[in-house]
Structure 1
Amino acid sequence: MDSTFVKYVLTALALSATPAAALEQNCRFIQAKADREACYKRQEEELAAKRKPAARAAESKTLESVRQMRQDDDAVYRSINNICRGC
């Protein structure tokens, strides 16, 4: 590989990782307590907004799997009822 290509890739990776780290550090250095707390609150809300869709997706997947298990159980119970016991 070309060394300049590697440098470009490493630079791109470094720049893409920087905004998240900068976002966390910005609040730490704000001197005014009210502004600093507002910054932390904004960060908390952003993180909560990012986590909500993932939680809802996992919840809906769990509900769907429970529904599927119930349907499978019902099918098994129906087939068992048709078995002659002691004919």
Structure 2
Amino acid sequence: MTKKEKQFVDDMIRCRGIDFARIGMMVEVYGDIGTIVGMNGSANLDVVFTNQLKYGKHPENCHPICEVKYFDADGKVIADYTTKNTAA
């Protein structure tokens, strides 16, 4: 784990109580797939989305528990913060 990755994990735990999020992890935010590339000053995720026509190439500010699904390296959902999941 690089220093940046360790700092990301430590800050995400301290600021948001999320211990599983990692840089490079695939997420789905409001139905769009992207990759976590960091955390910003608001303790939100910086996500680069695969749909660059819609979002561009730059990281987008995404709240870590607002309509987000987190996926492990095998593509399995490990955390689901979508309203569809919480309504069940």
The two structures have a TM-score, normalised by structure 2, of 0.22
Q: Which has the larger radius of gyration?
A: 1
Work out which structure has the larger RCO, using CA pairs closer than 8 Å and 6 or more positions apart in sequence. Answer: 2
The two structures have a TM-score, normalised by structure 1, of 0.22
Higher normalized strand content (fraction of residues): 2
Higher normalized helix content (fraction of residues): 1
